[in-house]
């Protein structure tokens, strides 16, 4: 990869970068008057770059066809977007602000890969990933954009991935800021810039999807996190539990979800207080300001921090950031061999097949239990007793929203003692109840090996019940 950098400075700042990546040209242009940057500027219409503007600019800008992948460059005055906006609004935007590490570690490509690994094609059709390159080192951003294009051009072309950069001119002053918390000057600069980075990212996102979730650029995603998020949000609606922010991770700003319609207000809030507090404190303050007094958290959590190096360099020690979320579950399961039998009449796939096909990231196999009665069961008998950490059974269908298990329990038969062979699993345990058609239980570590699982129907159903997934996670 060859990178040519041409800069020219006059009263108007103009930076032109030409990147040559194995046989194609990627032209990135930043230009804008280098007058005083300030908050007023952030309020200017031209900076409120929403999907409509992006789509418009896309139509009026050239596009380059890169070995089959099509690149779309959008250049309003202060921003640069590589994206192919979709015409519809999607379910979820995943925002990834990405900053250069002083140590040279680059994690963002792995984070994108982790999203791809953890999603099905159906998920990807409903999700947009916005990678926001926050570094002021334009040459670095350009190289990173090129690397993203090179590796994920196909996903830019499908509208899944957007790469966004914002010119430094847009930022309010980052020097001479208040030193609250007695923070070092460098830390104040770093955290204030991070607040503005996030605000600018939110201003990009309002009309892209219904919901917005932010992760960091050094994060691993739980397998199947998109349907997990959707299930959790549906549960909040069913239970009329009010929320403005939902946490899908216990850490800082990772896995925080908002409605896209709140992003503008939140961005304005952040810009008002950007020099006062770190961004995760402001997140908490915002939650209180909108009268959400308790944290709404999904467990197990869906995003794990995996990076080792922070983008803030103070001392060698300070540079490390190895925080882990202890409630994270990677969502990867391999159903152990078992015989699966339903006591009720079923159609569709055989229950055995639905169980056997349910590897992580598998396709939508399902079976339909016809009007299950009180006491009917679906039994999973393992070839040999096995220790488990979690079991998930999902019923229901978006096509037939009423066809879920309205009342049911998950039971297990457990060995009474660990070290005796040939003892039958006489201990009965109720692991959990179905809530909104789903049971998702963590099995306590003290539970001995399990011989069989049983879904027991607890009332007569007048509807059919669609069983979509039986996922067994070994300890
Ligand atoms: C891009 O290039 C490929 C291969 O040259 C071609 O098949 C495809 O039609 C082009 N796409 C567009 C949108 O021009
Ligand atoms: C994605 O999946 C591939 C294949 O299973 C694996 O080799 C790779 O490590 C995964 N990458 C990430 C970042 O999870
Ligand atoms: C988002 O879209 C809605 C409906 O299309 C529109 O009324 C609203 O002004 C848009 N909001 C922004 C911030 O662009
Ligand atoms: C899902 O279905 C596709 C097409 O039918 C198939 O190629 C793929 O192997 C299936 N994946 C799994 C995990 O069964
Ligand atoms: C358990 O049963 C198997 C087969 O019935 C037998 O071979 C084995 O000796 C038994 N083990 C113990 C500890 O009783």
Return d(Cα 303, Cα 229) in angstroms, integer: 11
Q: Which has the minimum average pLDDT: 165-169, 355-359, 362-366?
A: 362-366
Residues with Cβ within 8 Å of 150's Cβ and at least 6 positions away in sequence, in order, are 1, 21, 22
Ligand 3 atom, smallest distance to 52 CA? 14
> For residue 78, what pLDDT is reported?
66
Ligand 5 atom, smallest distance to 420 CA? 13
Whole-prediction pTM: 0.79
Question: Which two structure tokens, joined as six digits, stand for 453?
Answer: 């699982």
Q: Which has the minimum average pLDDT: 22-36, 117-131, 384-398?
A: 22-36
Ligand 5 centroid from CA 352, angstroms: 29
CB 122 less than 6 A from any atom of ligand 4: no
Ligand 3 atom, smallest distance to 207 CA? 1
CB 64 less than 6 A from any atom of ligand 1: no
Is residue 79 a contact partner of residue 29, using CB atoms and an 8 Å limit?
no
Give the torsion sign (CA, 64, 70, 73, 74). Answer: positive
Q: Which residue has the tokens 């996670």?
A: 473
Ligand 5 centroid from CA 123, angstroms: 48
Q: Which residue has the tokens 């460059």?
A: 73
Q: What are the pLDDT digits (tens) for 252-277?
A: 999 999 999 999 899 989 988 999 99
> For residue 77, what pLDDT is reported?
60
Q: How many CA atoms lie within 13 A of 14 on its CB side?
A: 6
Which CATH code fits 338-474?
A: 2.60.120.260
Main-chain dihedrals φ then ψ at residue 372, nearest 5 degrees: -60, 145
CB 363 less than 6 A from any atom of ligand 4: yes
Main-chain dihedrals φ then ψ at residue 149, nearest 5 degrees: -60, -40
Q: Looking at per-residue confidence, does 8 or 215 come out higher? A: 215
User: Residues 51, 52, 58, CA angle at the centre, nearest 5°?
Assistant: 85
Helix (H, G, I), strand (E, B) or coil at 216: coil
Return d(Cα 37, Cα 416) in angstroms, integer: 70
CB 110 less than 6 A from any atom of ligand 2: yes
Nearest ligand by distance to the CA of 117: 2
Instruction: Output the CA–CA distances (angstroms, integers) from residue 359 to 261, 304, 385, 404, in the order listed.
Output: 36, 21, 20, 22
Ligand 5 centroid from CA 422, angstroms: 6
Residue bearing the CA closest to ligand 5, atom 4: 422
What percent of the chain is modeled with pLDDT above 90?
53
Peptide bond into 300 cis (omega under 30): yes
Helix runs in 348-444, H state only: 351-357
Average pLDDT of the segment spanning 77-89? 76
Q: Which has the minimum average pLDDT: 21-35, 99-113, 287-301, 414-428?
A: 21-35
Q: Which of the given ranges, 70-74, 313-317, 394-398, has the highest pLDDT on average?
A: 394-398
pLDDT greater than 80 at residue 176: yes
Return d(Cα 150, Cα 254) in angstroms, integer: 27
Average pLDDT of the segment spanning 164-178? 84
Domain ranges in the chain? 35-305, 338-474
Say how many C-beta atoms besides its own lie within 10 A of residue 422's C-beta. Answer: 4
Ligand 1 centroid from CA 393, angstroms: 44
Is residue 373 a contact partner of residue 344, using CB atoms and an 8 Å limit?
yes
pLDDT greater than 50 at residue 61: no
Return d(Cα 437, Cα 400) in angstroms, integer: 13
Helix runs in 324-458, H state only: 351-357
Ligand 1 centroid from CA 132, angstroms: 27
pLDDT greater than 60 at residue 25: no
pLDDT greater than 50 at residue 57: no
Return d(Cα 213, Cα 219) in angstroms, integer: 13
The CATH architecture to which 35-305 belongs is: Alpha-Beta Complex (3.90)
DSSP class per residue in 99-128 = ---TT----HHHHHHHHHHT--HHHHTTEE
> For residue 180, what pLDDT is reported?
85
Strands 63-66 and 69-74: antiparallel
> For residue 455, what pLDDT is reported?
98
Helix (H, G, I), strand (E, B) or coil at 475: coil
Nearest ligand by distance to the CA of 107: 2
Q: Which of the given ranges, 38-52, 64-78, 323-337, has the highest pLDDT on average?
A: 323-337
Ligand 1 centroid from CA 122, angstroms: 24
Q: pLDDT band at 143, cuts 50/70/90?
A: confident
Displacement of CA 199 from its chain's centroid (Å) = 18
For residues 4, 164, 49, 288, the Cα torsion angle rounded to the nearest 10 degrees is -140
CB 50 less than 6 A from any atom of ligand 3: yes
**Cα diameter, the chain:** 85
Return d(Cα 128, Cα 102) in angstroms, integer: 29
pLDDT greater than 90 at residue 400: no
Q: Which residue has the tokens 């569709």?
A: 348
> For residue 410, what pLDDT is reported?
98
User: Residues 213, 215, 216, CA angle at the centre, nearest 5°?
Assistant: 155
- First vs last C-alpha separation in the chain: 45
Average pLDDT of the segment spanning 299-310? 89
pLDDT greater than 50 at residue 34: no
> For residue 59, what pLDDT is reported?
44
pLDDT greater than 90 at residue 40: no
């Amino acid at each position: 990869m060859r990178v040519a950098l041409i800069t020219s400075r006059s009263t108007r700042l103009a930076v032109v970068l030409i990147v040559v990546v194995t046989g194609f040209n990627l032209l990135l242009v930043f230009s804008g008057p280098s007058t005083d940057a300030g908050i007023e500027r952030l309020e200017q219409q031209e900076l409120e770059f929403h999907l409509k503007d992006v789509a418009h600019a896309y139509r009026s800008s050239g596009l380059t066809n890169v070995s089959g992948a099509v690149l779309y460059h959008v250049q309003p005055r202060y921003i640069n977007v590589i994206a192919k906006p979709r015409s519809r609004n999607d379910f979820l935007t995943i925002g990834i602000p990405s900053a250069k590490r002083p140590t040279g570690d680059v994690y963002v490509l792995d984070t994108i890969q982790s999203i791809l690994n953890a999603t099905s094609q159906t998920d990807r059709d409903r999700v947009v990933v916005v990678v926001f390159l926050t570094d002021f080192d334009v040459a670095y951003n350009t190289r990173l954009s090129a690397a993203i294009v090179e590796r994920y051009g196909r996903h830019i072309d499908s509208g899944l991935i957007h790469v966004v950069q914002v010119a430094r001119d847009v930022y309010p002053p980052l020097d001479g800021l208040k030193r609250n918390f007695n923070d070092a000057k460098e830390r104040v600069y770093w955290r204030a810039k991070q607040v503005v980075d996030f605000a600018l990212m939110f201003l990009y996102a309002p009309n892209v999807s219904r919901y917005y979730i932010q992760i960091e650029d050094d994060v691993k995603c739980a397998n199947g996190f998109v349907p997990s998020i959707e299930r959790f949000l549906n549960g909040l609606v069913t239970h009329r539990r009010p929320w403005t922010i939902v946490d899908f991770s216990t850490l800082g700003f990772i896995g925080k979800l908002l409605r896209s319609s709140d992003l503008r207000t939140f961005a304005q809030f952040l810009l008002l207080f950007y020099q006062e507090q770190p961004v995760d404190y402001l997140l908490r303050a915002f939650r209180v300001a909108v009268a959400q007094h308790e944290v709404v958290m999904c467990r197990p959590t869906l995003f794990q921090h995996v990076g080792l190096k922070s983008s803030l360099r103070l001392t060698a020690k300070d540079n490390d950031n190895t925080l882990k979320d202890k409630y994270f579950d990677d969502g990867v399961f391999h159903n152990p061999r078992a015989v699966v039998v339903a006591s009720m009449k079923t159609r569709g796939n055989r229950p055995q097949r639905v169980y056997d096909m349910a590897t992580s990231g598998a396709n939508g196999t399902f079976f339909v239990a016809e009007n299950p009665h009180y006491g009917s069961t679906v039994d999973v008998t393992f070839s040999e007793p096995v220790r488990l950490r979690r079991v998930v059974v999902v019923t229901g269908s978006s096509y037939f929203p009423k066809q879920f298990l309205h009342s049911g329990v998950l039971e297990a038969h457990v060995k009474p003692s660990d070290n005796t062979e040939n003892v039958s699993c006489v201990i009965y345990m109720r692991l959990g109840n179905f809530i909104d058609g789903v049971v998702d239980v963590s099995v306590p570590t003290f539970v001995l090996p399990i011989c069989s699982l049983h879904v027991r129907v607890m009332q007569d159903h007048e509807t059919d019940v669609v069983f979509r997934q039986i996922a067994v996670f070994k300890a």
